[in-house]
Amino acid sequence: MTAVRKNYDIPALRRLDVAHHLPAQQDYKLIEDMGGSRIVTHAEGCYITDGDGNRILDGMAGLWCVNIGYGREELADVAAEQMRELPFYNTFFKTATPPTVELAAKIAGLTGGKLQHVFFNASGSEANDTVFRMVRHYWKVKGEPNRKIFISRWNAYHGSTVAGVSLGGMKAMHAQGDLPIPGIEHVRQPYWFGEGRDMEPREFGKLCAQAIEDRILQVGPENVAAFVGEPVQGAGGVIIPPEGYWQEVERICRKYGILLVADEVICGFGRTGEWFGHQTLGFTPDLVPMAKGLSSGYLPISAVAVSSDVVEVLKTGGDFVHGFTYSGHPVCAAVALRNIEIIERENLVGKVRDDVGPYLNAALKRLEEHPLVGETRSIGLLGAVEIVADKKTAARFGGKEGNAGPVVRDFCIDNGLMVRGIRDTIVMSPPLIISRQQIDDLVDIIRRSLDLAMPKLKAL
Ligand code: PMP
């Protein structure tokens, strides 16, 4: 069965959007003033199409997730087959379904080493909630109940649930809902361009890792449960830590017997040129929350890979009273399995590592000649462009942080490229199937948008 294009009444949909729909992470008044959201009606490969007929290169792979691109008929077929066979069953009643078990085994094969056990959820936020409860429970069962504190980083993103926001380091999110919850400590992020340009990157990375050890000693190592971090911060602005940072973090965690959690919700499934970001960056976590690329966003599913050492302890603690109706949903699991099969069949991980990843890096480097570009950085198919008013001092437009990203982003979208503007950066995370030609288009549109934005930025 191929997709049937429907005819939508777009003005009517936009009116209904304003009247009834509350979109995610949004200013509802702004949407009202816009006359409703942009309605995206269909997509194919690396392009989305909106209700006004604009065809837009999707530099964000949806929301860092559509790794295999849009329009994969076989995922629709697999979902339909599984729905016919068994649309739902739970994993509460000492029960499991075939796709769920097969997917757990498949993930364990990809994470490798001691990461041999998998807990399913529906979203990245839930995966981090699972980590939060599982880690605290683990320490209690192990006989060290004081180990409750999580150390995380400012400007990290770990989700939008109560634990997710709390683990995250977004101050604007903390301000809504009286968060973080107690027991979470935030330390500085390894953001060299923004916070460490007066130092050698490696030295700066070491300093940022040292901040973790300092905090451990301050709160008492006997009280610390885990350190959690994204291998590469995504929503914080594609912050790629300096070389050696993660090795230091790992050494510090091991020194004090603290669990190491790699939030791979964005970095997983080929994004950085290996299956997981921790493999690219060379460290070994104890727990790995993952989502997004697990199903390429075709259905909501997330997972936490857990080391055998942790599971052996949990086995001595009776029921772990945690889990969701949709933990291990058979249709989502079947789709995720086929998605992984496609990534393998098309060698998308190798393609990112050896071909399009380095190609994007080189194309972005050429953009550094632009007068508004302070730095470009990328790893695999995660990239960022830092916009500055002054290349020498890295001063920002309008004399403060955060003005430039949204302005340049809007020009990019108007010129046919979906990217995100985070503070003063443009970030990108295109589908892993992107071609070299499409990468050229992507970078050309950013270049043109920087030119177009220049008068507006200078007037700030
Ligand atoms: N962790 C990270 C690193 C993420 O980037 C995100 C989402 N962008 C989440 C967790 C939360 O995932 P979700 O939106 O699926 O809850």
The overall pTM is greater than 0.95: yes
- What is the CATH code for 75-345? 3.40.640.10
What pLDDT is stored for residue 344 in this prediction? 98
pLDDT in tens, 57-75: 999 999 999 999 999 999 9
* Exposure letters 132-168 (e unless 16+ CB within 10 A, then b): bebbbbbbbbeeeeebbbbbbbbbbbbbbbbbbbbbb
8 Å CB contact between 250 and 283: yes
Distance, CA 371 to ligand 1 centroid (Å)? Answer: 33
The pLDDT value given to residue 429: 98
Tell me whether the CATH fold assigned to 38-68+347-458 matches the one assigned to 75-345: no
Alpha-carbon gap, residue 86 to 91, rounded angstroms: 14
Please say if the pLDDT value at position 105 is more than 90.
yes
| 60, 63, 67, 125, best to mutate for ligand 1 pocket (most atoms within 8 Å of CB) | 125
pLDDT band at 286 (very low <50, low <70, confident <90, very high): very high
Fold observed for domain 38-68+347-458: Aspartate Aminotransferase, domain 1 (3.90.1150)
What average pLDDT does range 151-173 have in this prediction? 98
Residue nearest to atom 1 of ligand 1 (CA): 158
Cβ neighbour number for residue 435 with a 10 Å cutoff: 13
Mean pLDDT of 373-388: 98
Distance 173 CA to ligand 1 centre (A): 14
The per-residue pLDDT for 5 is 81
Does the structure show a pLDDT above 80 at 2? Answer: no
The answer, yes or no, to whether residue 4 has pLDDT greater than 80, is no
**Average confidence (pLDDT) over 430-438:** 98
Question: Is the per-residue pLDDT at 1 higher than 70?
Answer: no
Closest approach atom of ligand 1 to CA 234: 5
Distance CA 432, CA 26 (A): 28
Domain map (residue ranges) of the chain: 38-68+347-458, 75-345
More confident residue, 105 or 6: 105
pLDDT at 393: 95
0.90 surpassed by complex ipTM? yes
In the predicted structure, residue 236 carries a pLDDT above the cut 60? yes
* Number of the ligand 1 atom closest to the C-alpha atom of 161: 16
Residue 382 has pLDDT above 80, yes or no: yes
Q: CB of 123 closer than 6 A to ligand 1?
A: yes
pLDDT of residue 143: 98
CA distances from 449 to 359, 372, 420 (A): 21, 11, 13
